[in-house]
Amino acid sequence: MVDETQVPHFWAVVPAGGAGTRLWPVSRAGSPKFLHDLTGTGRSLLQQTADRLSPLVADRLVVVTGQRHRDAVAAQLPQVAPDQLIAEPSARDSMAAIGLAAALLERRDPDAVMGSFAADHVIADGRAFGECVRRAVTAARDGWLVTIGITPTHPATGFGYIARGGPLADHDQVWHVDEFVEKPSQSVAERYVAAGTHVWNAGMFVCRPGVLLDLLADSDPDFAAALRAVAAAPDTLAEVWETLPRIALDHAVAEPAASAGRVVVVPAGFDWEDVGDFDALRGLLDAEPAGLTVLGEAETVLGVESSGLVIPGGDRVVAVIGLDDVVVVDTPDALLVTTRAHAQQVKGIVARLKDAGRSDLT
Amino acid sequence: MVDETQVPHFWAVVPAGGAGTRLWPVSRAGSPKFLHDLTGTGRSLLQQTADRLSPLVADRLVVVTGQRHRDAVAAQLPQVAPDQLIAEPSARDSMAAIGLAAALLERRDPDAVMGSFAADHVIADGRAFGECVRRAVTAARDGWLVTIGITPTHPATGFGYIARGGPLADHDQVWHVDEFVEKPSQSVAERYVAAGTHVWNAGMFVCRPGVLLDLLADSDPDFAAALRAVAAAPDTLAEVWETLPRIALDHAVAEPAASAGRVVVVPAGFDWEDVGDFDALRGLLDAEPAGLTVLGEAETVLGVESSGLVIPGGDRVVAVIGLDDVVVVDTPDALLVTTRAHAQQVKGIVARLKDAGRSDLT
């Protein structure tokens, strides 16, 4: 029997940031990836994230986003109460964003366990996801910093890895974490996958808010104190925010905590995709490699002897002839034509446009 | 010394028809190839044709075009008198179009020599062109049907060829024509080019109007009589036009006349391009094979590790990454993405759009 009841005192924290520049021109600073329906389901990645979490948390969902996206997030997630939609005065990386949520939850619910989940990842199997999270929450209640690691499907070099140690006593399928490893070389990644000792770090952390802040205090006591002070006096947010370090949670907390033996991992078998670029998006949309996959109005696309991904921009007809693994992305003010193999280079175009003073397009 | 004076009684006839479907979406039935500036010079192909002819004919330029393009042609060529701009009630192929002009000129100028030149070909060397035409006119005054044949630069299979016979007595660099050959196979084309016995048929014919009509009368007396009757009573054009055969001048006159020993050829050494597709257009625009050639606003195109042709549609930014010999053509209502090697298949898209009832796009 699968447990389908909500998890008492479990809070989801969703940091919704990141422009997703490798998905330009669909994703832009002013209209980032998480606000877009990139899977053709009619729900944005952010909405799908909320949908996936809601059976576990009911209304205990906190979203941390940039000031400029606050209204768009509120419109997409009307179920989130205003005091659970936190607008960052500026982008200061994940430690500040998730740490602020932790400090607020620490005051609000002494029994809280929180889990942080990116707003722009795709996980098709919500039930398997839920089972992993429940297992993680159980370990988190015992004071562990718990991460959910993705079982690798291939020796990816674009993700960090988590080295699994021995099993955690008194828990089912929870393991000690020996270390977090940054994006490895191809040969190292192949070794990890062959050995079965490593899982992908998808940035999913589950813990008690006080545990997270105490671990932060071990490495940067001022940072932790500042977050707790803001939570006690929310009016000071704008003033304090600009003084906080720009650092990822992985570096500020997860890596040192792993060295200190304070982190455990729940390996997850579900399919997971961070939709990092158009190549990944094409892979996600269609397991069938032949032909053109259309994200949008399929009738507007005419393909001849072609394969790849087309995102039409509306009513304009898009004709593609004789190109394999092509990527065509049409928007009202910008058009991208590339290949799946060159998908990572899209961010270079965004950089060039910024350099040219065309931030209206980025 | 090059002769730069105009040629008395020499009339140019420019049939301006043909949608140029392989240049879709730039060229369309409602906005055909000859009306576009495809060379980035600021002059349309039609205007360049008129510019090339004007030193030879002064104001003796006759344009035959479709009813729907009459106003556009008049706007592009304000120097053409209204009675020299003939609007065909419907498209009936080149014999009817050029034959009607011949019948009108036969009545208007008993000493006329006419030359027919397509509206959508590109010839860079106007001086060399003029020399060839003068030579052709001299032979035409003696009653010959004269064609100007292009010296092949490669064994093309997309053009018809003209087999050269012996030299024409009393004329410099004019040769008898043995036969017209339809588009040959690759091996036959290679043989022609190696032997130096054949030139390309570019549809350029120079002759006295009466000679053309008499040659037509040899194969189809009713057709020739109908054209002469319309010229005598222009009010009957609309009524008679729909009864005329749909046939190319090559088949109706040139081929049988060659069999009868009535055709001569002036070989031309100038570069000539019929801009049949985007591959030819790219070759025409830039002899340099590397990089992206932009026809339009170059600042709107960002290329990375790419080569080929981009025709931007206006202010929209076009980014191309990692594609060689690509063709990207952006217009307000249709976008084409293909390769130079697939340029011939563009007409298939036009056919599909017509089948789908989208004649608004063709």
Residue A17 has a pLDDT of 86
Do residue A205 and residue A184 come from a single domain?
A: yes
Average pLDDT, chain B: 95
Nearest chain B residue to A332 by CA distance is B316
Q: What is the CATH number of the domain that holds B105?
A: 3.90.550.10
Q: Taking the CA atoms of chain B, what radius of gyration do you get in angstroms?
A: 21
Do residue B192 and residue B46 come from a single domain?
A: yes
Following CA atoms A60, A64, A67, A72 in sequence, which dihedral angle do they give, to the nearest 10 degrees?
-60
**Residue that is last in its domain, among B248, B273, B298:** B273
Is A228 a domain residue?
A: yes
**Residue that is last in its domain, among A215, A236, A268:** A268
Is A1 a domain residue?
A: no
% pLDDT > 90, chain A: 91
SS3 sequence of A94-126: HHHHHHHHHHHHHHHCCCCEEEECCCCCECCCH
Name the one residue in this structure whose structure tokens are 């009675």: B83
Instruction: Give CA–CA dist A23/A81, Å, rounded.
Output: 30
Do residue B240 and residue B320 come from a single domain?
A: no
**Domain around A299:** 278-361
Nearest chain A residue to B337 by CA distance is A320
pTM score, two decimals? 0.89
Instruction: Give CA–CA dist A223/A220, Å, rounded.
Output: 5
Which of A302, A338, A358 minimises the CB distance to B349?
A302
For the stretch B12-68, pLDDT in tens is 999 998 778 999 999 998 899 999 999 989 999 999 999 999 999 999 999 999 999
Query: What is the number of structural domains in chain A?
Result: 2
Instruction: Give CA–CA dist A272/A174, Å, rounded.
Output: 19
Residue A158 has a pLDDT of 87
Alpha helix (H) ranges present in chain A? 45-57, 70-76, 93-108, 126-141, 186-195, 209-219, 221-232, 237-241, 249, 255-259, 278-285, 346-355
Is B89 a domain residue?
A: yes
Do residue B235 and residue B325 come from a single domain?
A: no
% pLDDT > 70, chain B: 98
Instruction: Give CA–CA dist A148/A200, Å, rounded.
Output: 9
Do residue B107 and residue B185 come from a single domain?
A: yes
Is B2 a domain residue?
A: no
Residue A288 has a pLDDT of 66
pLDDT means per 10 residues, chain A with 362 residues, are: 83 91 93 94 96 97 96 98 96 95 98 97 94 97 97 92 96 96 95 94 97 97 98 96 96 97 94 92 80 92 96 92 97 96 95 93 92
Residue A99 has a pLDDT of 98
Task: Classify the C-alpha dihedral A52-A58-A60-A65 as positive or negative.
Answer: positive
Do residue A204 and residue A351 come from a single domain?
A: no
Do residue A316 and residue A185 come from a single domain?
A: no
Instruction: Give CA–CA dist B304/A352, Å, rounded.
Output: 11
**Residue that is last in its domain, among A245, A268, A291:** A268
Residue B289 has a pLDDT of 66
Is B5 a domain residue?
A: no
Q: Are B275 and B289 in contact, with CB atoms under 8 Å apart?
A: no
Do residue B102 and residue B20 come from a single domain?
A: yes
Q: Does B1 have pLDDT greater than 60? A: no
Is A3 a domain residue?
A: no
Nearest chain A residue to B330 by CA distance is A335
Do residue A148 and residue A190 come from a single domain?
A: yes
Q: A89-94 contacts: CB < 8 A, separation 24 or more?
A: A89/A237, A89/A238, A89/A241, A89/A242, A90/A66, A90/A241, A90/A242, A91/A17, A91/A66, A92/A241, A92/A244, A92/A245, A92/A246, A93/A246, A93/A247, A93/A248, A94/A15, A94/A17, A94/A203, A94/A248, A94/A249, A94/A250
Which tokens in the block code for residue B57? Answer: 């004919």
Q: How many angstroms away from the CA of A252 is the closest CA of chain B?
A: 37
Determine the straight-line distance between the first and last CA of chain B, rounded to whole angstroms. Answer: 48
Do residue B221 and residue B293 come from a single domain?
A: no
Which of A305, A326, A349 minimises the CB distance to B337?
A326
Q: Does the distance separating the beta carbons of B323 and A332 come in below 8 Å?
A: no
Do residue A329 and residue A264 come from a single domain?
A: no
For the stretch A141-183, pLDDT in tens is 999 999 999 999 999 998 999 999 999 999 999 999 999 999 9
Q: Does the distance separating the beta carbons of B316 and A335 come in below 8 Å?
A: yes
| Closest of B41, B201, B65, B187 to residue B126, by C-alpha | B41
Instruction: Give CA–CA dist B188/B159, Å, rounded.
Output: 12
Apex CA A321: angle with CA A320 and CA A323, to 5°?
90
Q: Does the distance separating the beta carbons of A323 and B326 come in below 8 Å?
A: yes
Instruction: Give CA–CA dist A163/B269, Å, rounded.
Output: 73
Q: Which residues of chain B have a CB within 8 Å of the CB of A349?
A: 302, 304, 319, 321
Is B1 a domain residue?
A: no
Q: Which residues of chain A have a CB within 8 Å of the CB of B341?
A: 322
Q: How many angstroms away from the CA of A361 is the closest CA of chain B?
A: 9
For the stretch B141-198, pLDDT in tens is 999 999 999 999 999 998 999 999 999 999 999 999 999 999 999 999 999 999 999 9
Q: Does the distance separating the beta carbons of B321 and A338 come in below 8 Å?
A: yes
Which tokens in the block code for residue B42? Answer: 């600021």
Is A4 a domain residue?
A: no
For the stretch B223-281, pLDDT in tens is 999 999 999 999 999 999 999 999 999 999 999 999 999 999 999 989 999 999 999 99
Do residue B303 and residue B254 come from a single domain?
A: no
